[in-house]
Structure 1
Amino acid sequence: MDRLWQVFLRRFDLEHTFRFLKQTLGWTRPRIRDPYAADRWTWLMLAAYTQLRSARVLVEDQRRPWERAPATPTRLSPARVRRGFRAIRPVIASPANAPKSCRPGPGRPAGSRNLHPAGRHDPGKTTTTDIKG
């Protein structure tokens, strides 16, 4: 009986480990319909967490009040690195271009005529019908 109890406790630990792993890898968010898409999503999440692990040395620990003493940069978890990402974002280079202006273009100046009006086409509808009976 003691052995069965130990097996049950181990099973309980494994189920919760997989549950938390699925949440960490983001499997609970997307509605994936294809197993290949699930594999791609998993590899994408693993790549993101690898990047977070690589950025540990750039981040200062911003711990919550309930967490233990500040961790050394080599011991930071991906969640703690994510918290400090706002501070390192301006420091690291970005592959993206600068954002474009959100204001619309000048368009046609007010009061000027449209030199290229849209073309009009006859729809081919006839108004009279010739019914021979």
Structure 2
Amino acid sequence: MPLAQLSPPGPPGPQCYACQSLHKGESCRQVQSCVLPRTCKAIVSSWNAESGPQTTYSGWCADTCHPTSRTVEGSLTTISCCQSSLCNTPPWQDPQGRGAGGPRGSLATVAATLLLSLLAGLQAMAL
């Protein structure tokens, strides 16, 4: 099944997956061609529900993107940014397991995630 494409006019940039609120296992087949200097952005949220672990994915071309990872009320949300075509793959759609929110993230993203995790642990110990 071919991927659907949206192609805006302007200098070519990366192609990005463009899907909103997919649940784990659902495929993103919508592709959007970004106009420079836009970048690919993905948000992956994971949490535990009564029915078991849940994960959602949203991806698109973004004007700005600031990679981060934080846990709020038991829900881990990771924002990832990348500039190569189709780099914001839903994590379960990449056969090599390097989709958005995966280990392919930049060193800054990994460092921010580690720092936030350590700070959360220190706060919990102080209480």
Please give the TM-score of this superposition, normalised by the length of structure 1. Answer: 0.23
Please give the TM-score of this superposition, normalised by the length of structure 2. Answer: 0.24
Higher strand share: 2
Instruction: Indicate the structure whose relative CO is greater, using CA pairs within 8 Å and at least 6 residues apart.
Output: 2
